[in-house]
C-alpha cells in the first residue's frame, strides 16, 4: 500500500474477511443501526476508496464497503470479472452479513455494478446513488482506453513492478501532505499493479467494460428502469475520467432524480469533500424514507416497467422474407 494512503479503518469502521464461494473477500463494515448502505468502489479501488466518508456515514447507517474480487485485499483468482459477476458477489456478501436490502452507492466502475445490481436484484435495492458513474456513455480517459490495446498485459509489468513501486514511494513520501486526496486514490490504485495477480484482474476487469473507443458497456437502453426507485447522482465538476455531462444527461432523462455536482472535485468527490458527500447521501436517505417500497412492490414496479417498454410479436410477422435463390 502506498504510504500516502490510510487503510481506512476507525473505531466505527472495521475490516472483515468473508469466505465466499471458496474465496477470501475483504470488506469494511461499520455502524450498528439505520439503513444499510452498500458502497461499491471503482476500477483499481477498494472499500477504502470512500475514505473518511465511511466513518461519517457509519454514524447513522450500517455501511458495507467490499473490496471486489481482484481488488484491494480481496483474493484475485482467475475468473469472471464482469459487472454481472460483481453484482452477484455483492448480493451474496449482503446475504452473508444478514442485510436483506440496501441503498446501493456505486463509484465509477462501481456505478456500473450498482446499475447491474438494480437490474438483476430489484427487490434488494431501496435507493440508487451513482457517483461519477460508468455505464452512461462512451467517454472515458485515454489512459483507461489504452489498457484494452493488444499487448497491454505485457507492457504493464515493465511499468508497474516492485522496483518501480519502491522508487515511486521514495519520490512521493516527501510530497504526501500536499497531495490532493483524489490523486492519492489514483496513486494507491496504481501501486497495487506491482502485484501480478492484481494486474491480471485489472486487465480482465477493464476489458470487460472498455475498448479502445471508450466505455463499451452501456445502461442507456435500461436507465428508464431507474424511475422505479429513488435516484441520486453525485459528480465531480472537474472529473477528467468520466465527464460531468453524463450526469446532466441522465438527470434530464429522469426528472425525478436528484443531482449534486461538487464544482472543484475530480473523479473522487467522496474523498475531495467527504463531509459534503456524507451529508448529501444522508439527506437523500432521510428525505426519501417514505418513497422506499417493500421488496415485493419493488419487484412488481420493476416488472411493470420492463413490460411497459417491451413488446411481443409473432415471429412470422416480423421475420424478413427469404431471399430468392
What residues are labeled active site?
108, 239, 267
Lookup: cell for 139: 467517454
Strand, coil or helix: 148 = coil
Which has the closest alpha carbon to 241: 191, 189, 192, 195?
189
Give the DSSP H/E element, type plus range, for residue 102: strand 102-107
Q: How far is CA 52 from CA 12, 42, 115, 165, 315, in A?
A: 11, 17, 24, 25, 55
User: For the chain, what is the radius of gyration of the CA atoms?
Assistant: 20
Asked if 219 and 112 touch (Cβ cutoff 8 Å), the reply is yes
DSSP class of 140? -
Which has the closest alpha carbon to 194: 170, 150, 146, 158?
158
Q: How far is CA 302 from CA 12, 86, 227, 299, in A?
A: 35, 21, 9, 5
Q: Which residues contact 233 (CB under 8 A, 6 or more apart)?
A: 129, 130, 133, 247, 250, 251, 257, 258, 259, 260
Place of cell 469494511: 28
Amino acid at each position: 500500500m502506498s504510504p500516502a494512503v490510510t487503510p481506512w479503518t476507525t473505531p466505527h469502521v472495521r475490516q472483515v474477511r468473508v469466505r465466499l464461494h471458496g474465496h477470501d473477500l475483504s470488506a469494511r463494515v461499520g455502524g450498528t443501526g439505520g439503513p444499510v448502505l452498500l458502497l461499491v468502489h471503482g476500477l483499481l479501488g477498494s472499500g477504502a476508496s470512500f475514505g473518511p466518508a465511511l466513518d461519517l456515514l457509519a454514524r447513522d447507517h450500517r455501511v458495507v464497503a467490499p473490496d471486489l474480487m481482484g481488488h484491494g485485499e480481496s483474493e484475485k483468482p482467475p475468473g469472471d470479472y464482469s459487472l454481472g459477476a460483481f453484482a452477484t458477489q455483492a448480493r451474496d456478501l449482503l446475504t452473508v452479513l444478514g442485510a436483506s436490502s440496501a441503498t446501493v452507492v456505486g463509484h465509477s466502475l462501481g456505478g456500473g455494478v450498482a446499475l447491474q445490481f438494480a437490474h438483476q436484484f430489484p427487490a434488494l435495492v431501496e435507493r440508487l446513488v451513482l457517483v461519477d458513474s460508468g455505464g452512461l456513455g462512451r467517454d472515458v480517459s485515454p489512459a483507461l482506453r489504452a489498457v484494452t490495446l493488444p499487448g497491454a498485459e505485457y507492457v504493464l509489468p515493465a511499468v508497474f513492478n516492485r522496483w518501480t513501486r519502491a522508487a515511486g514511494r521514495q519520490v512521493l513520501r516527501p510530497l504526501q501532505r500536499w497531495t490532493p486526496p483524489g490523486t492519492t486514490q489514483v496513486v494507491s490504485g496504481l501501486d497495487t499493479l506491482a502485484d501480478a495477480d492484481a494486474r491480471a484482474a485489472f486487465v480482465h476487469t477493464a476489458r470487460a467494460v472498455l475498448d479502445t473507443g471508450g466505455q463499451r458497456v452501456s445502461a442507456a437502453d435500461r436507465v428508464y428502469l431507474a424511475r422505479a426507485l429513488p435516484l441520486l447522482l453525485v459528480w465531480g465538476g472537474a472529473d477528467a475520467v468520466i465527464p460531468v455531462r453524463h450526469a446532466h444527461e441522465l438527470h434530464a432523462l429522469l426528472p425525478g432524480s436528484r443531482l449534486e455536482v461538487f464544482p472543484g472535485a475530480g473523479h473522487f468527490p467522496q474523498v475531495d469533500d467527504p463531509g459534503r458527500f456524507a451529508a448529501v447521501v444522508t439527506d437523500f436517505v432521510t428525505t426519501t424514507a417514505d418513497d422506499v417500497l417493500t421488496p415485493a412492490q419493488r419487484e412488481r414496479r420493476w416488472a411493470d416497467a420492463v413490460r411497459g417498454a417491451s413488446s411481443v410479436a409473432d415471429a412470422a410477422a416480423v421475420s424478413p422474407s427469404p431471399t430468392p435463390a
